[in-house]
Chain A
Amino acid sequence: MTAFLRFEIMRSLRNVRFVVFIAGFPVLLYLIYAKQAGTFQGLTVAAVLMVSMAVWSGMGSAMFATGPQLAKERQNGWMRQLRVSPISAPRWFAAKVSQGLLLIIPGFVLLILLGFGYGHVHLAASRLAVFAVVLVLGVIPFCVLGLVIGLVFDGQTAQVAQMLTMLVLAFLGGIFIPYDHLPHVMQDIGKALPSYHLVQLGWNAVGGRPLGMAHVLALAAWAAALGLIVVWRWRQESTTA
């Protein structure tokens, strides 16, 4: 499994679109908006945005590792080749999720460095550690969501589906726009989304507040529900083929 994981990570990092997506885009947004005055949830804009952009980057890496890439490789026959090799389905899943988790590291490190260096965020090491743990565990449902997209959609459609999903998750989850500015209906929808719970956990971690068990449970529920879809789709594909 480690051989497969190493292989997958190497080739992901060569993908220019991916690197721009996880690093370029959030860094650019941070540079533009971090210097605004004001506070939100008891944090400076620079700190809030550091969390939001790290969450956005983490979501993106987690979903990229699995989503469109998987859809493409189901279509071009690579997945069939893998199914003829000795790697088992559970190991493959474990590797894919690990790939998603490990690939959030570059974006996370970059945004923390920016936050500290450019945004003058002051953060105790313990809070930073809690945030790191929250992010790593919190992107698991997004890894699984990527798998769902990769298994449900084909090739090009999967890319569009992934982008749309990302945007919906980011806007309605309150990552791009402060949450209170959204219309009420959208707030209600947004509160159900995993992105909302993850970014809330992030702000709580950085603000030194209790994390909130409800958020943790909501993310776990998302991961479980999406996991069921993955298993269902995977079985469907390997038996009716």
Chain B
Amino acid sequence: MTSTKRGATGPAVAFRDVVKVYHPHITALDDVSFDIQPGETVALLGPNGAGKSTAIDTMLGLRTPTSGEVRILGGSPAAAVGAGQIGGMLQTGGLPEGAKVGELAGLFRELYRDRRSTGELLALAGIAGLADRRVEQLSGGQTQRVRFALALAGNPELLFLDEPTAALDVAARRHFWRSVETIAAQGTTVLFATHYLDEADANASRIIVLNHGRVVADGTPARIKAFTAIRTLRFTTPAPDPSELLRLPGVSDVVVNGDAVTVRTGDADGTLPALYALGRQIKAMEVGGGGLEEALIALTSADNGGVKEGVS
């Protein structure tokens, strides 16, 4: 109810050298460290299998790290869960058969000692009209929003959302992120996982990029997005000269293999006219990239294992 969530100082989430190995020898988290400060809205971005869900499960106390330390609001994840300080919307989550939406929300209000009414809670999640509906009668998107309402019960200090918009249509997505914004404005720290760069960009003030269980980038959306401007140009030209190509605007690296050339550029719009202006014969031009995958390749291939501190 208040915007001053807690008196204690220190990070809301402290993730220190966390390793999680599933048997047999699958490393889901490979020495991951980051802090999240109170009030931040952070996106955990990465492709499927990057370790996002494992990271969130660890913070919620659902999994124990193989090594390293996870502290939530200064204590253990279990303590924070027990105190009702955190809300979690998990990636998969059925609802219990036979229950009505209003009963479920009411139950969670009581478990978390939330002073808001069930109606307010449902309205915040955009499902005010569903209170009398049985959970078996809900659509996928409605189920997702009920789970969102449950995560909001108790007005948590820290909210974890694991791929929260997967089953939502465009309008529901918009409403969803507006609600998250409202909650964040009240002082709740939000951490959400997504594999959509656009979603992270639009809704987070900071993006942590995970790939193969490692943090490959951690910065503002603008910084992370700069990496997605990278395009790969593939073409053939007789007797290519790498040094000539490297001097073209925006080009960061050139690979030559016979007549075939691969050029990576951060400014394709500048590179292409300059390339044609060289007067060479250019054939079979292909422009690739721009997605998260491409950004991840750029991020992971950057020197010294990422761009945490470096310039882009």
Residues of A within 8 A of B (CB): 3-4, 7, 10-12, 14-15, 69, 72-73, 75-78, 80-81, 83-88, 239, 241
Q: Is B81 an interface residue (CB 8 A)?
A: yes
Q: Are A85 and B63 in contact (CB under 8 A)?
A: no
A96 → chain B closest CB, angstroms:
13
The interface residues of chain B lying within 8 Å CB-to-CB of A78 are 93-96
> Which residues on the A side are within 8 Å of B176 (C-beta)?
none
Majority SS at the chain B contact face: loop
A15 surroundings in chain B (CB, below 8 A):
97-98
Q: Is the CB of B111 within 8 A of A86?
A: yes
Residue on B with the closest CB to A2? B110
Q: Report the 6 A-B pairs with minimum CB-CB distance, sorted nearest first.
A: A76-B94, A11-B98, A3-B110, A84-B88, A86-B84, A77-B93
- Which residues in B have some Cβ–Cβ distance to A below 8 Å? 57, 60-64, 81-84, 86-88, 90, 92-99, 103-104, 106-108, 110-112, 134, 147, 150, 153-154
Query: Given the interface contacts A11-B96, A11-B103, A241-B63, does A81 sit within 8 Å of B150 by beta carbon?
Result: yes
Residue from A7, A14, A75, A241 in contact with B62 in the complex, judged by beta carbons closer than 8 Å? A241
Q: How far is the CA of A26 from the CA of B95 in the complex (A)?
A: 31
When the two chains form the complex, which single residue of A7, A76, A80 contacts B99, counting CB atoms closer than 8 Å?
A7
Residues of B contacting A69 in the complex (Cβ-Cβ under 8 angstroms): 96-97
Is B64 in contact with A7, judged by CB distance below 8 angstroms?
A: no
| A84 touching B94, Cβ below 8 Å | no
The reply to whether A7 and B83 contact each other, CB–CB distance below 8 Å, is: no
Which of B60, B84, B92, B104 is most buried by chain A, counting CB atoms within 10 A of its CB? Answer: B92
Q: When the two chains form their complex, are residues A80 and B95 in contact, meaning their CB atoms are under 8 A apart?
A: no
Measured between alpha carbons, how far is A239 from B78 in the docked complex, in Å? 12
Q: A86-B81, A86-B82, A86-B112 are in contact. Are A81 and B93 (CB under 8 A)?
A: yes
Chain A interface, >50% SS class? helix
Q: Report yes or no: B62 in contact with A85, Cβ–Cβ below 8 A.
A: no
B110: which A residues are within 8 A, CB to CB?
A: 3
Is B99 within 8 A of A10, CB to CB? yes
Docked Cα-Cα span, A164 to B87, in Å, equals 39
Task: Please name all residues of chain A whose beta carbon is closer than 8 Å to the beta carbon of B81 when the two chains form the complex.
Answer: 83-86
CB within 8 Å for A77 and B96 given contacts A87-B111, A88-B82: no
Complex interface: chain B residues within 8 A of A81 (CB): 88, 90, 93, 147, 150
Chain A contacts for B90, CB-based, 8 A: 77, 80-81, 84
Residues of the A chain whose Cβ atoms lie less than 8 Å from the Cβ of B82 = 86, 88
Q: How far is the CA of A168 from the CA of B246 in the complex (A)?
A: 79
* Contacts A3-B110, A78-B96 given; does A86 touch B88 at CB 8 Å: no
- Bound state CA distance, A88 and B153, in angstroms? 17
On whether the beta carbons of A11 and B93 are closer than 8 Å, the reply is no
Most chain A C-beta atoms within 10 Å of own C-beta, residue among B81, B104, B111, B134: B111
Q: Chain A residues with Cβ under 8 A from B60's Cβ?
A: 84
CA distance A84 to B150 in the complex (A): 10
Please determine whether A7 and B103 come into contact, CB atoms closer than 8 angstroms.
yes
**Residues of B contacting A14 in the complex (Cβ-Cβ under 8 angstroms):** 98, 134
CB distance from B95 to the nearest CB of A (A): 6
Q: How far is the CB of A85 from chain B (nearest CB, A)?
A: 5
Q: Which residues of B contact A88 (CB under 8 A)?
A: 82
Q: CB distance B93 to A86 under 8 Å? A: no
Q: A76 to chain B: which residues have CB within 8 Å?
A: 92-94
Q: In whole angstroms, what is the CA distance A135 to B98 when docked?
A: 27
A178 to B92, CA, bound (A): 48
